A and B are shown apart, each in its own frame.
Chain A
Amino acid sequence: MAPKIEYYCPCLAESPYPPPPHLASSSYSFHALHNLFFCEECDAVRCNRCVLVEVSGYYCPNCLFEVPSASVRAEKNRCARNCFLCPNCRNTLTVVPSDPPEDVDSRMSPIVSTTLGEPPFFLYCNHCRWDSAEVDITFEKPTGLAAQLQKFEDSAPESLEFERLKEHFEPFLRASSSSTALPSASSHHVHTNPITAAASSALARDIPGVGKYNPLSRSRIGRDKAAHRQEYPDYKSRVEVGHAAALSGEVDVELLRHLETVGEVASLEQRWSNSWVTPLRASDLKPLRIPLQSKKSKRCPSCRHILIKPEQKAQSTRFKIKLVAANYLPAIAVTLPHAQAALEMMKRSSAKSVSAAAAAEEQQTAGALIAGHSYSFHLAFTNPLYDPIQIRLAKAVVPAHMTEDAEAAERARRSTFQIQLPSAAFPVGAFAEAWEYDDEDEDMFLDEDGVELLDARGKKGKDGRGKSRSVGIVDKRANVTIVSGEVLIPKEARGDVKFNMLVSYTYRSDDPEPSEEVEVGTPSRSHGTNKAPEMKNFSFYTVVDLGSIMYREEPKLTADL
């Protein structure tokens, strides 16, 4: 597994500190940079777990029809045109006409035998060859199929039964709500409905019939029950389960008893959204209308500013507003030089390697972190801003309020490996178009920070495992700076090499007017101001995952060299 880095969004925890990375729950707080947003008002990172989502438009993913929101409800969030899914494989169905008339060939499949005069159209799955004629669904004309099927949906047994149930309960609720209106008028608004009232009074009181203090209660209850029976007749089902032709229990049991293959029975996913008893057979499944999708705009949860807003048209993939974190935070890529070197070598020797599987395994072990060694890792920072930034790295501090035992456990785990990061700040060049970088840029910061700048090319040459002990800038060009860190894994270490890293960077703020408090401190990407540069600082947490430790001592690879 390649080493990776993820960025922290503090929305799940209340504390600004990230959770220790060895906790399984911590993975929910870290996100890839491309999934994050940045709120300029709050000067904070926002993730998909905390943003407020609003629907800005509905469309069908198949025909890209933009469905007006008025009809979304009636159509039950599904496409009401010609788009259907295969019930077996969820592929998109196509509308096909029946085969040409009988005179051409009459050694027919059952489909064509249904052909009478004008050819009916049916839905056909190009993947699994399912077609809707199997379930007796054919169409007179090839358009507006959903509308032609609408009548079936409207008369679906569950909705008819549902309406009947509603009619059955409505008079009763009306009656009882008028009787409870008096006591509830004076009381809390929450409990105005009769079921609630009934339920909560039942909770608050003794069970009917077991009350000790009221000798009358028993007979009263009896009378109540009788009265209740009279005024409230039993519900007569429209279709009783005992008579539902679809499921007479015996038939299903018999079907299953003589089942030959699993495929005969529809899978749970294919039938679980049916609220009405349906046949179990896979061959009885009906085509599904394609669910609509929505274009969503997202807002910052605290200041409600829009973070991202798509263009209305379903065909467009552009955004009207797009405040993504990738435009504000430096992108970080983490690599293990020794793994890469090993990969290179693997590629070179792959010609003579025995089998692909073995090579893959080799590859696994080559990039592994073996206990008892130390490795250097590279962090490549890419600056998206139009101004150069200064970055400083630090290991994340453990939150002070951690309880005793947790901290002990934490220390025990954390001490399995040691991380060294460059302590000094280092610069990353400004973003510009590729042709605007001069070669001289590279040397500009050479001795600026007192950080030793290693010769990148020279180092790459001898990049064996754990060879270079140095921590600092490795390479710097254009808007990318690569720094090197080191991880030292003791012999007894186990688990993943995963650590939290605090990245702070200083950038030039370009709106110095202090009128709007919130706006100050936003790393803005606009440029070309002549005012005195005001430096701002922004920090964020990341988790760096270098991979898991292998404790197999295997110097075989280097021997292969």
Chain B
Amino acid sequence: MSAVPNTPRRANAQESFTPAATPQTSRVASSHIVQSSPHYQTTRRHSLYGTEDRIILDPGSCIWKVGFSGEGKPRDVFYAGGDSGESLWTLNRASKPAEREEEDRILEAKLQACLRSVFHNSLLTDPKSRKVILVEHPLLPLHIKEIMARILFNNLQVPSISFASSHLLALLAAGRVTGLVLDCGHLESTVLPIFSFRPLYPHLRTTPLAGARLSNHIKALLLMFGTYIPPATSLSATMNIPAASRSIRVPQDVLTEKVIDEIKTRICFVGDPIDTDGSGAAQHAMSPGPSEADLPPSDPALSESEFSRVSADVSIDSSNFAPSSGYSVVSHSQLPGMDHAPGESRVQALATMYGRHSTATDIHLRVDPPPAQQTGTGRGTLIVPGWIRERAAEVLFEGGDVDESSVAEVILDTLLKVPVDLRKTLASTILVVGGTPMLPGFIPRLQAELTRAVSRTSNSSSSSAAPSRAGRPRPRPAAYDKYAALRPLLPYFAILNNPAPPPPGNATAAANAGKAPAFTPSMMAWVGGSLAGALKTGGVEVQREKWDEAEAQPDSDDDVPMAHDSSPARSARSSPAKSILPDWTRTPLPTGAPPAPRPPAAAAYIPSAQEQMVMG
């Protein structure tokens, strides 16, 4: 009875035993195993792309851009964290080893899914035959870089990975080799000066005022000033009850990441700074607050900055506070001794001021009602006031905090750090890249903010400097003018990709402002990577056999820090990255004296001819 003839349904199982598969595949297999040698042999089978065509990966914490070198735009762009738009990693890491390990495991699984989908779904190519250029943000956490390298080498078996600095690549896409690049991404805004292909990493400056903070700010503003009209409970109610009487404050659940993202990317823009003609309004706005009598009334910047603090508070615990407590964030505002009511009215006054100055229209947005109130008919309506659309981005431009410089200040801080003889050059070759500058009006506004921050005289600028707030009891320190040194540079400031450059201050600025090709800021780094790939250059290249070698040999140095790691296998796996992957933070410090004959290991850093000449 067991001798059953094959039935059609089981045909597949029978096919699996066709001998044809085995010998053939084993031959391929052996060739693959032998093949840890330089270049991939699989390409000879079907070389879809030239062997020199490389894959450019620009992995952000939120959005990935992928494509082939030599092309003007990426093949695919996607949310790495899934459709919800949450970011793969944040600026924080769990402090407990067990939790951190768990975090890393989740991150690795997500990154693996992303990377596999890049090759198999987006690019439809064989990873074993494609070299990869990884567009690397200079502050990309090392453990993430290690995980990515591990997945690419072990799981996908790419032949090599080149690590190229995103700022440098973006500069290439602008046709320059020298410049000051601001990358305003999701988690951070980072400024890196680059001189003649050389990123000056020690002068890198960063601030957490970036896309994620903007999202939080928009959310906080909408919770306070937005309006939500829930769907009518029945269709007849839609007719009878006017919308105004149904409108309520915005429930927290309505403002999902997705909704906020849509608001940010579709209807927000950056308005011009409110300058002196707005001072009257600012003064008026500040009058209810009793504690700021000593503030210079003519400076709207301070009021704006206080205003933007709201989101900083909200962002800390926006994940878990109840909607009701969402409004009370104002109460623990920064000014000591300020109780709830003035705070509320102060923010309210600012809202009034912005509202008065904004001619932007209110937008009605259809949103899904929160899951708890799904009973109504259809979708709810979220009303976004026009001034929020225009002024939400103020949070990025309001400085005065030593830890969180504004986007303009972070550029100026970098300029203060770089050698004096480079300042003029760098100030006139500022390049703004990243996703957040895609907001219409961002770059012109940044230019205006730069000018404003530098040209502000000591009288008015003192209020925006940090000490004024902390040192209220003391007499104010005599005019701390941080950017005085940069004031002579004022006519030189020029943003390469400013779509609407102001009248240039001098010939240098005129030669640079707005002269970059019209690539979008968000794509600059990717385009530069594509360019580097087409020019057969790129960053430091790591071959797979090097990785395999490093992974094979037991590593003793790193056992101590990895002691908390539960599985010995894991620590062994993560070790090769330490020795193989390029990392500017781990480069040996320069010796004070002219270098002695280099040991072979140190020869990894070859000075260019130019450099050698200098050294010589």
Contacts and interface: CB of A to CB of B under 8 A. Distances in A.
A25 B520 contact: no
A532 B131 CA distance: 52
Interface in B517-576: 517-520, 522-523, 526-527, 530-532, 534-543, 564, 566-570, 573
A196 B265 CA distance: 36
B57 to A, nearest CB: 15
B240 interface: no
A210 B603 contact: no
A402 B102 CA distance: 13
A184 B98 CA distance: 45
Contacts of B105: 12, 19, 23, 25, 28
A253 B440 contact: yes
B113 A327 contact: no
Contacts of B123: 77
A249 B523 contact: no
A466 interface: no
A165 B514 contact: no
B540 A183 contact: no
Given A14-B569, A276-B519, A222 B4 contact: no
Contacts of A267: 262, 265-266
B72 A156 contact: yes
Interface string A198-214: 11111111111110111
B173 interface: yes
B12 A319 contact: yes
Contacts of A248: 499-500
Interface string B41-68: 0000010110000000000000101001
B590 A179 contact: no
B598 to A, nearest CB: 10
Interface stretch (A237-245, A497-505, A542-550): A237-245
B112 interface: yes
Given A176-B608, A305-B22, A430-B2, A204 B590 contact: yes
Given A198-B197, A242-B499, A268 B266 contact: yes
Contact of B422 (A180, A209, A237, A401): A209
A15 to B, nearest CB: 6
Interface string A434-446: 0010000000000
Given A207-B202, A280-B440, A55 B125 contact: yes
A252 B584 contact: no
Contact of A53 (B74, B119, B168, B538): B119
Nearest to B365: A262
Interface in B582-614: 582, 584, 587-588, 590, 592-594, 602-614
B501 interface: yes
Interface residues of B, number: 158
A188 B601 CA distance: 10
Given A200-B606, A207-B200, A409-B98, A241 B516 contact: yes
A253 B441 contact: yes
Nearest to A12: B109
A168 B499 contact: no
Contact of A262 (B363, B425, B523): B363
Given A25-B105, A73-B49, A180 B609 contact: yes
B278 to A, nearest CB: 17
B236 interface: no
A257 B112 contact: no
A275 B105 CA distance: 33
Interface in A288-303: 292-294, 296, 299, 301, 303
A321 B522 contact: no
Interface string A216-252: 0110111011001000101111111111101111101
Interface stretch (B28-36, B214-222, B335-343): B28-36
B5 to A, nearest CB: 10
A73 B518 contact: no
Contact of B520 (A19, A54, A70, A277): A277
A89 interface: no
A261 B266 CA distance: 10
Contacts of A305: 21-22, 25-26, 29
B98 A405 contact: yes
Contacts of B409: none
A191 interface: yes
Contacts of A528: 2-3
A402 B1 CA distance: 50
B381 to A, nearest CB: 11
A304 interface: yes
A166 interface: yes
- Name the interface size band of chain A: 35 or more
Contacts of B363: 259-262
Contact of A15 (B7, B12, B523, B569): B569
Q: Which of B68, B70, B199, B611 gathers the greatest number of chain A CB atoms within 10 Å? A: B611
Nearest to B603: A187
B2 A166 contact: no
A295 to B, nearest CB: 10
A550 to B, nearest CB: 18
Contacts of B267: 256, 259, 262, 265
Contact of A321 (B18, B26, B63, B119): B18
Contact of B516 (A184, A202, A240, A430): A240
A249 to B, nearest CB: 4
Given A240-B516, A241-B498, A220 B613 contact: yes
A256 B389 contact: yes
A301 B29 CA distance: 10
Nearest to A298: B120
B511 interface: yes
B398 interface: no
Contact of B4 (A54, A323, A527): A527
B108 interface: yes
B108 A173 contact: no
Nearest to A242: B514
Contacts of B440: 249, 252-253, 255-256, 280
A241 B607 contact: no
Contact of B518 (A14, A246, A258, A309): A246
Nearest to B11: A318
A176 B608 CA distance: 9
B17 A526 contact: yes
Given A191-B606, A242-B498, A262-B262, A53 B519 contact: no
Contacts of A405: 98
B604 A188 contact: yes
A256 B606 contact: no
B98 A406 contact: yes
A140 to B, nearest CB: 28
Given A202-B200, A305-B22, A49 B540 contact: no
A228 B116 CA distance: 43
A236 B176 CA distance: 10
23 contacts: A55-B125, A161-B72, A183-B607, A196-B540, A199-B199, A200-B604, A202-B199, A208-B419, A209-B421, A221-B614, A241-B516, A242-B514, A247-B518, A250-B500, A253-B269, A258-B360, A260-B363, A265-B267, A276-B519, A294-B124, A304-B28, A319-B15, A322-B16
Interface of A: 12-15, 19, 23-25, 28, 40, 49-50, 52-55, 58, 69-70, 72-73, 76-77, 156-159, 161-162, 164-166, 168-170, 173, 176, 179-180, 182-184, 187-188, 190-191, 193-210, 212-214, 217-218, 220-222, 224-225, 228, 232, 234-244, 246-250, 252-253, 255-262, 265-268, 272-278, 280, 292-294, 296, 299, 301, 303-306, 309, 318-323, 327, 357, 386-387, 401-403, 405-406, 409, 430, 432-433, 436, 525-528
Given A165-B517, A320-B21, 17 more contacts: A55-B124, A164-B517, A165-B172, A166-B531, A173-B535, A184-B606, A187-B603, A188-B606, A201-B607, A202-B197, A224-B610, A241-B496, A241-B514, A261-B364, A273-B74, A299-B25, A436-B4
9 closest A-B pairs (Cβ-Cβ)? A242-B514, A235-B175, A304-B29, A202-B198, A14-B569, A158-B72, A28-B109, A209-B419, A252-B440
